[in-house]
Amino acid sequence: MEPNFLVVDDSVTMRRIVTNSLKALGYTQYIEAADGKEALEKLNANAGVNFVITDWNMPVLSGLELTKAIRSHPEKSNLPILMVTTRGVKEDILQALQARVSNYVVKPFTPKILKEKIDAILATV
């Protein structure tokens, strides 16, 4: 089954970078959200979404808060979540892992790195 991505980032430019990378990797199914609140609304409205790529730092609802909200719903608790962040310090990575993100990638990244992270997550689903 092809992943159906929800790409969440408050930066239009960053969403474009992620979606262009997905297209370059052959993934064609994705929707976008500008913050965690919009992402939750779209996730609830689109049952087909089966993979979330989210930024950490966003207004309204951060990527970490979004992850915790997704994990609190039993039917979505195993949804793959890839956290994209500029925050590479150990404490932040531990915080993300404790919130049960599936994996994380530090900006800037290449499509190759994104593919490796997605493949690693899909291999465990």
How many domains, the chain?
1
Domain that holds residue 105: 5-122
d(CA 91, CA 43) in angstroms, rounded, equals: 28
Residue 91's pLDDT is what? 85
CATH of the domain at 48: 3.40.50.2300
Q: Where are the alpha helices (DSSP H) in 46-110?
A: 63-71, 90-98
Average confidence (pLDDT) per 10 residues, the chain, 125 residues: 91 95 95 96 91 94 95 90 84 87 91 95 90
d(CA 79, CA 68) in angstroms, rounded, equals: 12
State the pTM of this model.
0.94
Residue 46's pLDDT is what? 84
